[in-house]
Chain A
């Protein structure tokens, strides 16, 4: 069965620090999709990125970057030069191509960026 583990429950950093949010997943499928979502204090869930299992290239979008490593079943998310506006709960999620169409979420990591 598919599973997503975000071991870091809460992280607190000071503005301008770099921070990495860990995500480890379990799946029996060879084809699957990984996602990151952001939930700021206002409560909405914002899609950040989708990655399929055949694409291990790292991705960078501004201050955000994602490191996908199939060998360790990890899909980590790094924020460079963090800002107060990055404070949010971040969720990693997984969908298997051959199984249920459900999106399985991790428990989330609450990131607090202090000024």
Chain B
């Protein structure tokens, strides 16, 4: 089975531009998570969905960040406008059930210049 798929794997953009990160969870998994990883802050949970519904977005840094999950097989994380401090690796993860392990995608390395 395919794992969690993320695209793009690398994104370089200029400050002020809109960035959209994409994620396809493992088929049959009903929870999806977006994380951000930086050296300074480690792994941070941004938002998660259960059955396509956003449950907790308290980790979203500010209004520039938004996430959607229009169906069970696709989610996006959008940053508009992007800033250099948004540079990080963004991971998407999915989970079969509440107390099961999360499986992570390969991540998107975002660089905002």
Contacts and interface: CB of A to CB of B under 8 A. Distances in A.
A103 B45 contact: yes
A50 B104 contact: no
Contacts of A108: 42-43
B106 interface: yes
| Chain B facing A: main interface SS | strand
B91 A45 contact: yes
Nearest to B98: A101
B100 A50 contact: yes
Contacts of B106: 43-44
B103 A47 contact: yes
Interface in B64-85: none
Contacts of B50: 101
Interface of A: 33, 35, 37, 43-47, 50, 52, 91, 95, 97, 100-103, 105, 107-108
